[in-house]
Chains A and B, each alone.
Chain A
Amino acid sequence: MKQKLVVIGAGMASGRVLEHLTDAAPDAFDITLFNAEPRGNYNRIMLSPVLAGDQTYEEIVTHDDTWYAERGIACRFGEKVVKIDRDLKVVEGEYGHVPYDKLIFGTGSNPFMIPMPGHDLDGVIAYRDLEDTEQMMGMGAGNKVVVIGGGLLGLEAAAGMAARGADVTVVHIMGHLMERQLDPAAGYLLKKSLEEKGITVLLNAKSTEIAGKDGKARALLLEDGTELPCDLLVMAVGIRPNTALAQETGLAVGRGIHVDDQMITSDADIYAVGECVEHQGEVFGLVAPLYDQAKVLAQTLLGEDAAFKQRSLSTKLKVTGCDLFSAGDFAEGETREDIVFRDPARGVYKRLVLEGDTLVGAVMYGDTGDSNWFFGLIRDGEDVSEMRETLIFGPAYQGGGSADPLSAVAALPPEAEICGCNGVCKSDITTAIEGGATDLGAIRATTKASASCGTCTGLVEQLLQVTLGDDFQMSTAQPICGCCDLTHEDVRRLIKSQELKSQEAVWQELGWKTLNGCHVCRPAVNYYLLADWPVEYQDDPQSRFVNERKHANIQKDGTFSVVPRMWGGITNPAELRAIADAAEKYDVPTVKVTGGQRIDLLGVKGSDLPYIWSDLNKAGLVSGHAYSKGLRTVKTCVGTDHCRFGTQDSTGLGVKLEKILWGSWTPHKLKLAVSGCPRNCAEATCKDIGVVCVDSGFQISIGGAAGMDVKETELLVQVPTEDEAIEVVMAVTQAYREGGKYLDRLYKWMAKVGLDWIKETVVDDLENRRALVERFELSQSIYRKDPWAEQAKEAPRFAPMADLTLEAAE
């Protein structure tokens, strides 16, 4: 007698089960198929091409009416299952009962809707079924769409609507797109190519509310106050296994319906397959494992031995023009090693993750031609030790190549392209070498090779070495660190010329060899970006040394020092009282007067910092930036206020300068002083910038130091008015900010560019002087603020995350 099989849900997984069953044993079961959607099984994965207009719905139908009829499957589409009676073995549909011997749950998953205010308004949809897709297809030119979620589905939705002409913004809460499949480097490239398609991408953006008008979604509001108007809002933030019915039926349910290796639930006659299941703690969203499950379930139903095994997965994004691939596991690990290849000119990023002698993961962007080969190596766990040296170049390079880079360069054909930016091939360079260009500079001058982005510099040098042999001297320019081949100067130049505005952009476009830099290059790159792109780039505290992150100086015992600002060294009884109170309240062991004319509170506990700052803030005191590679102090003497020798108001000018310059970041610390007469009581001539007042005006001199090196300043210019003195100081500060190498004091920068060059460009060229001042002001509009006041709001961050010693004592 035929067994009665009831299937709940006509999705891709259960559809595949039915194919296997009816092919292998057409007469084994009497099959009834329930589906809540009023249609049969279609290829949900291909909804994105339908949305983009590349395919029609008819083309993605997997099983049509004829198919079900031929196989004798009783279809109950558009009918919900109300209840299951496991004792009587009956499924109760909206329109009648169906008894079963075997029952399959293929209930799939539900899109997750963030329960923020307004999520139930009209015009807020998920991206899950044909109805959603049809709504999105209605969006064209003149429509504004916001997509929440920068994962696979969200991006496909965004790209599809953008292709139809809609104005699309993607809002993603994480720091890079598709964070589960991609690393930040590939995420950066993906963002860039989506932006080229006209899609706006907002990262680290937290949605708080959907604003409505007349019951319809009008705009999405973000935490930072941004309002994004929209005609349609698509929430594509993830899926949850649909387990409601299974739960009511009393099956074991966790995140999904629990199944064993044979796809059997906690009830021996009930099975589950697809996105609704949980197997060994995992739930599933990609199609490959679902098809594996379907095959196993069909075999189980037919009494054959079969077991479902989880295996590595690969992902490709179905967006035209975004070549993207990720497979396996690409988390870093103790026993794992990375091979990274970047070709900035072609926008290519490849990363292979090796564990021992096998490949365990791969991420590729821009060139995914060999992805199947790599996926095969991952899936089969093949030993790759033999081809490791050239593995990343793909299958074409395997089979006994030499690992020596010089012989690899020597073996390149004459027409091989060396410099992608300027289209320079190998023979162009060798011809130039034979013509007398025997160093890098000469090659750059004659062929332009390595003169743009500079990432082929290594290749050009190897060519010089191969061609000239021992006559070639490798250049001595030091790269920033082992993460890259470029000097500080090169990186600064390229950040400006290529308009690189994020750390990911720098790492990718300049060919970084590590994932996210190291403690040497990260602070430098962070500084260069914030100095060159004050508006576009956001300062990254995690790329700063502890002092600048904590806004306090760490001491040898791990405590901190706190130095409030005293403008021009001027204070008053109220401030002094607040400092004294704070010193007592927080048990500050040492109170010291500094050389910069202010008071240092030494020995403050890290967890007390936000509280002592808050107390000092209340008295009007702000951070003295005693810890920063930035403006420290402007030391003054009392000038004409009190001194019988004073020629100008040196205190007043010092206070003005400090109020203008404070908060600015510079390559290294920046100290100023203003003396009221040539007796120079404020010691202005050993500061980075010193002003000495004379009867006829203000002498501005620069490049002094009193540290490891002791330097006297050199005269830059004498100006007649205070306003002009302030303008020159701002201009020279900005020139140093824009040109200096990170951790070079001003005198070192001056030694490199020359005092005459500074005089010509910063002082004499009035147009440039004003432009420098303008750029400084722009930057200060963001950075001239008290970091203590902001940090004090984050007080919990300064405390231990947990205290387990208390618990133990109880």
Chain B
Amino acid sequence: MSWIDIGHIDDIPLRGARVVKTPVGCIALFRTAKDEVFAASDTCPHKGGPLSEGIVHGQSVTCPLHNWVFDLNSGQAQGADEGQIATYPVQLDGERILLDSTSLGQRSAA
């Protein structure tokens, strides 16, 4: 893995999200009430809603368009809805957010 620094945890509102543009498309970084950070596709598989605009509760996010709920750990849609969003390795180094560039289709800087 090759970790790249994306920003400070406070760049994301508490119980909120921000978008990162990557070669594999827009990825949403979610920050939970307890300062955990998750990375997942920003695009809802249902009608393409921007998940980064959804309400973050517990370790889930609700799509702003039609209220599909996704578990941010597995990317799995919850309840009656069936679907899956891609999740990406992310880690916190102190208060810095690191994303794995190799999983984002980026060649590691040689």
Which residue numbers of A lie inside 8 Å of B, CB to CB? 175, 179, 183-184, 331-334, 514-519, 522-523, 541-546, 549-550, 554, 556-558, 606, 797, 800-805, 807-808
A810 nearest CB neighbor, chain B only? B109
Contact at B36–A522, with CB atoms within 8 Å? no
Q: Which of B1-41 contact A (CB under 8 A)?
A: 4, 6-7, 11-16, 18-23, 26, 29, 32-36
Say yes or no: B21 contacts A331, CB within 8 Å: no
Please tell me if the beta carbons of B13 and A542 are within 8 angstroms of each other in the complex. yes
Instruction: Give the complex CA separation of A318 and B6 in angstroms.
Output: 39
B104 within 8 A of A: yes
B77 on the A face (CB < 8 A): no
How many angstroms from the CA of A582 to the CA of B6 in the assembled complex? 32
A-B contact pairs, 24 of them (CB 8 A): A332-B58, A333-B73, A334-B73, A516-B58, A518-B55, A518-B57, A518-B62, A518-B69, A519-B54, A519-B55, A519-B69, A541-B13, A542-B13, A545-B55, A554-B50, A558-B50, A606-B53, A797-B13, A800-B18, A800-B19, A801-B6, A802-B6, A804-B99, A805-B22
Instruction: Report how far A399 CA is from B96 CA in the complex, Å.
Output: 47
Q: Which of B48-82 contact A (CB under 8 A)?
A: 48-50, 53-60, 62, 64-65, 67, 69, 71, 73-74
Contact call B6/A546, Cβ cutoff below 8 A: no
Contact B29 A801 (CB under 8 A): yes
Contact B53–A519 (Cβ < 8 Å): no
* Whole-angstrom distance between the Cβ of B65 and the nearest chain A Cβ: 7
Beyond A183-B34, A333-B73, whether A801 also contacts B20 by CB under 8 A is yes
Which residues from chain B contact A807 at a C-beta distance below 8 Å? 106
Q: Is the CB of B23 within 8 A of A517?
A: no
Nearest B residue (CB) for A483: B57
Tell me whether A805 and B21 are in contact (CB under 8 A).
yes
Known: A516-B15, A800-B18, A805-B22. A543 touches B55 (CB 8 A): yes
* Selected contact of A332 from candidates B59, B62, B74, CB within 8 Å: B59
Residue of B nearest to A559 (CB): B50
With beta carbons under 8 angstroms apart, the residue of B14, B54, B56, B106 that contacts A804 is B106
Contact call A804/B11, Cβ cutoff below 8 A: no
When distances are taken between beta carbons in the complex, the residues of chain B under 8 Å from A546 are 50, 53-54, 64
> What's the nearest-Cβ distance from chain B to residue A520, in Å?
8
Please pick, from B13, B26, B56, B106, the residue contacting A808 in the complex, using a CB distance under 8 A.
B106
A802 touches B23 (CB 8 A): no
Chain A residues, Cβ within 8 Å of B14: 175, 542
How far apart are the CA atoms of A801 and B8 in the complex, in Å?
10
Contact A558 B55, beta carbon cutoff 8 Å:
no
Query: For A808, what are the chain B residues with a Cβ–Cβ distance below 8 Å?
Result: 23, 105-107
In whole angstroms, what is the CA distance A129 to B24 when docked? 54
How far, in whole Å, are A545 and B60 apart by their CA atoms in the complex? 15
Residues of chain A lying within 8 A (CB to CB) of residue B20: 800-804
Q: Which 9 A-B pairs have the closest CB atoms?
A: A334-B73, A519-B62, A546-B64, A542-B15, A546-B53, A801-B18, A519-B55, A803-B21, A804-B22
Residues of A within 8 Å of B57, CB to CB, are: 514, 516-519, 522
Q: Is the CB of B71 within 8 A of A334?
A: yes
Which residues from chain B sit less than 8 Å from chain A, CB to CB? 4, 6-7, 11-16, 18-23, 26, 29, 32-36, 47-50, 53-60, 62, 64-65, 67, 69, 71, 73-74, 99, 101, 104-107
Q: Closest chain A residue to B7 by CB distance?
A: A801
**Residues of A contacting B4 in the complex (Cβ-Cβ under 8 angstroms):** 804
For B22, list chain A residues within 8 Å (CB): 804-805
Q: B33 to chain A: which residues have CB within 8 Å?
A: 184, 515-516
* Also in contact, A542 and B55, with CB within 8 A (given A554-B64, A557-B48, A802-B7): yes
* Least Cβ–Cβ distance between B107 and chain A, in angstroms: 7
A543's nearest neighbour on chain B, judged by CB, is B55
- Distance of A803 Cα from B4 Cα, bound (Å): 12
Q: Known: A518-B57, A542-B16, A546-B53. Contact between A805 and B34, CB under 8 A?
A: no
Q: What is the CB-to-nearest-CB distance from B98 to chain A, in angstroms, rounded to a whole number?
A: 11
- Smallest distance from the beta carbon of B39 to chain A beta carbons, Å? 11
Q: How far is the CA of A558 from the CA of B59 in the complex (A)?
A: 23
What chain A residues lie within 8 Å of B71 (beta carbons)?
334
Closest to B5 in A: A802
CB distance from B5 to the nearest CB of A (A): 9
Which A residues are in CB contact (< 8 Å) with B19?
Answer: 800-801
Contacts of B7 in A (CB 8 A): 801-802
- Supposing A545-B55, A800-B26, A804-B104 touch, asked if A332 and B34 sit within 8 A by C-beta, the answer is yes
Residue ID in chain B nearest A803 by CB atoms:
B21
B49 surroundings in chain A (CB, below 8 A): 558
With beta carbons under 8 angstroms apart, the residue of B11, B47, B50, B64 that contacts A801 is B11
Give A804's nearest chain B residue, CB to CB: B22
With known contacts A333-B73, A517-B57, A801-B20, A556–B34 Cβ distance under 8 A: no
A542 pairs with B50, CB closer than 8 A? no
Measured CB to CB, the closest approach of chain A to B33, in angstroms, equals: 5
Cβ contacts under 8 Å, A544 to chain B: 55
Residues from chain B with a CB closer than 8 A to the CB of A183 are 34
User: A804 near B21 (CB under 8 angstroms)?
Assistant: yes
Residue of B nearest to A607 (CB): B19
Distance between Cα atoms of A631 and B14 in the complex (Å): 28
Q: Which residue of A lies closest to B36 (CB)?
A: A331
Give Cα A543–Cα B16 distance, bound, in whole angstroms: 9
Given known pairs A518-B62, A545-B64, A554-B64, the reply for A332 and B32 (CB within 8 Å) is yes
**Once the chains are docked, how many angstroms separate the CA of A606 from the CA of B55?**
17
Chain A CB within 10 Å, residue with most, of B12, B50, B53: B53
Q: Closest CB-CB distance, B24 to chain A, in whole Å?
A: 9
With contact pairs A542-B13, A542-B56, A546-B53 given, residues A332 and B36 touching in the complex (Cβ less than 8 Å): yes
B20, B36, B55 interface centre (most CB from chain A within 10 Å):
B55
Q: How many angstroms from the CA of A647 to the CA of B22 in the assembled complex? A: 62
Apart from A800-B26, A801-B29, list 9 A-B contacts with CB within 8 A. A179-B35, A331-B36, A332-B58, A334-B71, A519-B55, A542-B15, A558-B49, A800-B21, A801-B18
Asked whether, in the complex, the Cβ of B48 is within 8 Å of the Cβ of A558, the reply is yes
Q: Are A554 and B73 in contact (CB under 8 A)?
A: no
Q: How far is the CA of A519 from the CA of B14 in the complex (A)?
A: 15
CB-CB under 8 A for A556 and B47, given A549-B53, A801-B20: yes
What chain B residues lie within 8 Å of A801 (beta carbons)? Answer: 6-7, 11-12, 18-20, 29
A529 to chain B, nearest CB (A): 15
A523 CB contacts on chain B under 8 angstroms: 55
Contacts of A541 in B (CB 8 A): 13, 16
Contacts of B69 in A (CB 8 A): 518-519
* Residues in chain A near residue B15, CB distance under 8 A: 516, 542-543
Residues on the A chain within 8 Å of B58, using CB? 332, 514-516, 518
Chain A positions within 8 Å of B62 at CB level:
518-519
Are B65 and A802 in contact, with the CB atoms below 8 A? no
Contact partners of A545 in chain B: CB under 8 A: 55, 64
